Amino acid sequence: MALRVVVPYDGAEHSRFAIDCAFERFAPEEITILHVIEPFPDHSKAAGHRGHRYARVFQQKQQFLAEAVAAGHDSDRRISTELIYGRPVVEVPRYVESNGADEVIMGSRGLDGLSNVLLGSVSQAVVRRTPVPATIVRTPGETETGDRTEPRSILVLFDGSARSRSALTYACEEFQNAAITVLFVSGRAATEHESIESATDLDEAVARGSTGDDDESERVRSASRRIAERYGHEVTPVFAVGDAANEVLRWADDHEVDHIVVGRRGRGGLKGLLSGSVAEIIARRAPVSVTVVP
Note the pLDDT tens digit of each residue in 139-175.
Answer: 765 544 444 557 899 999 998 888 999 999 999 999 9
Q: Which residues pair with 238 in a beta bridge?
A: 183
Tell which wins on pLDDT, 220 or 187: 220
Determine the structural domain holding residue 206 and report its residue range. 144-294
| Per-residue pLDDT at 293 | 95
Calpha distance 83→93 (Å, rounded): 14
Average pLDDT over the chain, rounded to an integer: 80
First-to-last alpha carbon distance for the chain, in angstroms, is 16
Residues 225 and 136 in one domain: no
Tell me the mean pLDDT in the region 269-285: 67
Residue 270 has a pLDDT of: 34
What is the predicted pLDDT for the residue at 117? 38
**One domain, residues 238 and 208:** yes
Strands 30-37 and 134-137: unpaired
Same domain as 167, residue 115: no
| Residues 135 and 150 grouped into a single domain | no
How many structural domains compose the chain? 2
C-alpha dist (Å) from residue 218 to 10, 96, 210, 229 = 46, 38, 11, 16
Which has the closest alpha carbon to 84: 135, 15, 10, 14? 10
Of the ranges 38-42, 97-101, 140-144, 185-189, the best mean pLDDT one: 97-101
* 195 lies in the same domain as 165: yes
Residue of 252, 6, 265 whose CA lies nearest to 145: 252
Confidence at 16, pLDDT banded by 50, 70, 90: confident
User: Residues 212, 189: one domain?
Assistant: yes
Helix (H) or strand (E) holding 58: helix 53-70
pLDDT in tens, 224-273: 999 999 999 999 999 998 899 999 999 999 998 999 999 987 444 334 44
